[in-house]
Structure 1
C-alpha cells in the first residue's frame, strides 16, 4: 500500500539522518584535497518538523512546509522564521509548497482520500483558504507545480489504473480533476514519490513532466498541452517497492535531470541519476562512477549558470557542473529538498529536511 511505503520512507530517512553528523554546513573534498566550490550555510528554524516542502523565492524569501502541519516563512534570508501554519492542520503532512512571492503561496497535504488537500494564502500565511480536498478514496496526491502565477498542476497516484491530474488556471484558488482519456495506463505497483515536491515539474508554456517508481521500471511522463494528454518514456534508472525517480529538474524545455535510487539504501547510488537533452523523450543513465554518492530525493538547476545542478538526500549533497552527466559530493549534511529561484544578486538555492534543517547554498571559491 502507498501509505505504508510513505511511512517507511519517512522512517528510513529519519533513521539515516540520526546516523549522520548533526546538520552543519560541512563539505567533502576530492582526491586533490581542494576545498569544495559550494557549501550549505545553515539557517536554524527552531522547529523539529521534517520539511520536505520547500519554495525558494529569492535569497531573502523562502517557505518550508512539513510534518505536523507546520509551515514557516522567512523574509530576511533565514535570520528569522515566522510560523505561518494553517489553523487546525496539525494532523496533516505537508509535502509541497509553491510560492509566488512573500505573500502568496500554495501548500499540498498528502495522504489517502481527504488527507490530500490544497491551501492558499495571499497575506503571507496570516490566513489560509482550503481550495481543494480530494474526495476519491483511492487517490493520493504527491506533488504540485506551477507554470506561472496562474496555471498549475497537481499529481495523484493512479486511480482506476491511471495517474490523476488536477489543474488550476487561477493560481490555486480552485482545482479541476482532469479527464484521464489522454493519460497512459499505469504499470502494476507504479506510483510517484512524495519526497521533495519535485516528482512533478511544470515548465514554460504548457509543458510539464512527472516521474514514477514502484513498478518494474521507472518512467517519465510528459505533456505539452497543460496536462490534457501525456506521453511516457521508460527510464534506465532503478525501480522497485522503494526505488525509482524521486525528483526531476529542467533547464528550459530540453535539458533535464532525474535523480533517485532506493530510499532503503540511502548511502548507495543504485542507478540513481539520468539525463535528457530532448525534453524527456529519452534518458541516458549516469554511470555509477559519475553518479551522486547515494539516494537523492531533490534536485535543482542553479540560477545564473548554464549547467550547474545540485542534488540532495539523507546522506549528503552533490553538484554537477555539466548538466547532470557527472557529480561530485560536496556536503554530508542531510536534506530532503532543494529549490533555486531568483535572478542576479537575488538568486539563491535553498535546501530543507529533517529536524527543521534549512540551508542556503553559498559559493566558497
Structure 2
C-alpha cells in the first residue's frame, strides 16, 4: 500500500504524521509526505519522500511578537484572497504528491483540497485531528479563532451555535474556491466545507486520558491514541552536565510560537524567584538567557522524551505534542495558551491536576511564579506520575494497522 500523509502546520502538526509514517513503513507500506518546506531536510534524512507545500513557516515565527505594536490584522478580503491562493496551491501540490497512492491521510483542518483530490482519484481519505476540541460536539465549544472583521460571538451562545458559526466561517473563507476547483475536475459542490474536510468518521490522534472524546461510542469518531514518534537521541553533553550539576531545573519552551522579545527575562525571573534553575528551549523564536548566570542554560531542539523526566516542571504553550510528552514523563506542567487548541490542553492539565493553566495572556514574573509554585507542589508531582502510567504509547501503531485494513474509514 502507498500512503500520502499531508498537513499544513508547524512541527507539532508534522511530527505525529512522521510517527505514523514510521509505523506504516515498519508494516511494509510505502509512505510519502506532503508538508511545509521547513521540514523537508529532517524528513528526507529519515528516508521518507517529501513534497513541500505552501510557504516556509519558521521565518514568521522567528520574528518576536511585539505586544506594544501588533501588526494590523488583515482585512476580510485579504483573508479571502489568501484562502483562494492556498486552496489553489493545495490542489496542485497534493494532486502531484498523491500520484500512485492508495489512500490519503490529512491532518489539520486547513487541508482543504486533500479530500477532493482523493475523491477525484477514487481512493480513500482519512482526516485526523490531534485534539478533541477540533471536532464538532455539543459537549464542547470550537477552539477560539478570532476573525478580523467579524464581531465576537455573544457570551450567551451555546456550543451548538458556536459550532454553526465556525462552519459558516469555513464556508465563507473557502467555499467558493473549493467548489470552483472541484468543478474544474468534474466534482459537485462540497456544500458544508468543514464537514467535507473532517468527514463523518474522523480519527482522533489524542491520548484517551489526556484528551478523551466526550461523545458516545457511536458518534463516528475513531480515537487511536496520540501518535508519538520514539526518540532515542542522547542529550547534548552540555545539557546532561547541567542537569547533573544541581537540583532539577524548570524547563521553558514555546516551540514554533512567536513570543514577545523580553519573554526570556520573565521566564528565568520566575524560576529564580522560586530558587530554581532554568533550561530555555530556544524554539523558533530564538529564546535565550538574558545573562551569563550559571543557573540557566539555553539549548536548541533536543529529545524531549529524555529531557522532561529530568526536570521539575515544564512551562510551555500547550501544543498537543508537548502536553503529551510532559504528561508521559510524569512531570508537572504550566501551560500558557496562545491560540486555537492550546486553550483546551491548558484546561485539561488543570482538570487532571497535573499542573497549572496560566491565563491566556503574556505572563508577568509574578503570575508565572504563582503558577509554577502551584505546579511544584508535591501532590501535583504525585498526580502527574499517576497519570503518566495511563498514557498510551501505541497510538501510531493502532492507526497504522487500521489504515492497512481493507476499509480504513471503518
Give the TM-score, by structure 2 length.
0.25
Q: Please identify the structure whose Cα radius of gyration is greater.
A: 2
Give the TM-score, by structure 1 length.
0.27
